[in-house]
């Protein structure tokens, strides 16, 4: 009886080994690093556009991070980030081939959920009062609707990629502080104060959504970008671009390199 038991145990181990090897081999054929998210993750504001649908570029923070980590450290990689993406569209269009073999994910999202871009447009072209009203509406959405939207997305990511390390990268302050004495075109100190406050709310809500969630890490760029916002003497952010409006208030090449360096300090 013991010999039969031992024989069955050996056979079961052999079957498990074969199936396990097959599963790992199958997973290894798929990308094990995904860049997900919105225009900040796509690299808008830096480098050359690689497409005219999602406006991914060749100078996104994921590109520089991947280069710094060393391409040989990964299997294949995929950039799914897309300008205009919300938590819902990331969930519906960017998670398709994540699986148990996905080891790394970077993600920036949330600004489009709260209508941050239209609010910024209002701030550029309208009065202080109109800017404040528009940005406060975005802040209200960030506090009321974004937590549940992020939770739903994070749950979907974990279900698709149970083994992935997920780095949720936040937004910097976009503009020189209101107290800096710096001029910034139509973006008055009052406007800059409410816009930077909105970035704080977005980051705080996103940080809270990752807290206690296994395998998720929030990466906060605000301190790194301090003193290098748009309208400072050495900006890592694009200012108001009338020639290429899509780049307005997005990180430039230096900004994406700083994002990548910050990621590297967190991920090792």
| pLDDT tens track for 67-114 | 999 888 888 898 999 999 999 999 999 999 899 999 999 999 999 999
Domain ranges of the chain: 1-29, 31-267
Output the CA torsion sign for 201, 203, 209, 211.
Answer: negative
Active site residue 173: no
Measured distance CA(65)–CA(256) in Å, rounded: 9
Active site residue 83: no
CB 216 within 8 A of CB 168: yes
Beta strand residue intervals within 198-239, DSSP E: 216-219
Task: Round the average pLDDT of the chain to a whole number and report it.
Answer: 89
- How confident is residue 268, by pLDDT bands cut at 50, 70 and 90? confident
* Most confident of the ranges 29-38, 66-75, 165-174: 165-174
Question: Which residues pair with residue 248 across a beta bridge?
Answer: none
Copy the structure tokens of residue 98. Answer: 């994540």
When mean pLDDT is compared across 22-31, 62-71, 75-84, 203-212, the lowest value belongs to 22-31
Candidates 39, 60, 62, 83; catalytic one:
39
Candidates 63, 173, 250, 256; catalytic one:
250
Residue 151, helix vs strand vs coil? helix
| CATH annotation of 31-267 | 3.40.50.1110
Report the pLDDT value the prediction gives residue 73, as an integer from 0 to 100.
86
Say what the pTM is.
0.87
Residue 204, helix vs strand vs coil? helix
CB 47 within 8 A of CB 247: no
Residues sharing a CB contact under 8 Å with residue 265, sequence separation 6 or more, in sequence order: none
Report the pLDDT value the prediction gives residue 71, as an integer from 0 to 100.
85
- How confident is residue 118, by pLDDT bands cut at 50, 70 and 90? very high
Measured distance CA(160)–CA(102) in Å, rounded: 9
User: What would the 3-class secondary structure string for 38-96 be?
Assistant: CHHHHCCCCCCECCCCCCCECCCHHHHHHHHHCHHHCCCEEECCCCCCCHHHHHHHCCC
């Amino acid at each position: 009886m013991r010999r039969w038991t031992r024989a069955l145990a050996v056979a079961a181990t052999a079957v498990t080994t074969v199936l396990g090897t097959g599963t790992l081999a199958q997973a290894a054929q798929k990308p094990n690093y995904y860049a997900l998210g919105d225009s900040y993750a796509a690299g808008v504001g830096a480098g050359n556009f690689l497409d005219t649908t999602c406006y991914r570029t060749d100078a996104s923070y994921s590109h520089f991070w991947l280069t710094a980590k060393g391409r040989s450290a990964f299997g294949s990689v995929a950039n799914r980030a897309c300008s205009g993406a919300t938590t819902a569209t990331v969930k519906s269009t960017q998670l398709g081939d994540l699986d148990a073999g996905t080891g790394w994910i970077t993600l920036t999202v949330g600004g489009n959920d709260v209508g941050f871009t239209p609010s910024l447009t209002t701030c550029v072209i309208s009065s202080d009062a109109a800017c404040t009203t528009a940005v406060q509406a975005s802040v209200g959405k960030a506090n009321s609707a974004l937590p549940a939207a992020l939770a739903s997305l994070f749950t979907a990511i974990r279900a698709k990629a149970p083994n992935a390390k997920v780095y949720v990268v936040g937004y910097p302050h976009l503009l020189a502080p209101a107290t800096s004495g710096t001029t910034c075109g139509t973006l008055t100190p009052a406007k800059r104060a409410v816009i930077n406050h909105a970035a704080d709310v977005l980051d705080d809500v996103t940080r809270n959504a990752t807290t206690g969630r296994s395998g998720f890490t929030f990466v906060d760029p605000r301190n790194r970008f301090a003193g290098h916002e748009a309208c400072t003497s050495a900006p890592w952010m694009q200012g108001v671009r009338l020639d290429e409006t899509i780049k307005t208030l997005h990180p430039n090449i230096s900004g994406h390199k700083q994002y990548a360096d910050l990621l590297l300090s967190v991920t090792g």
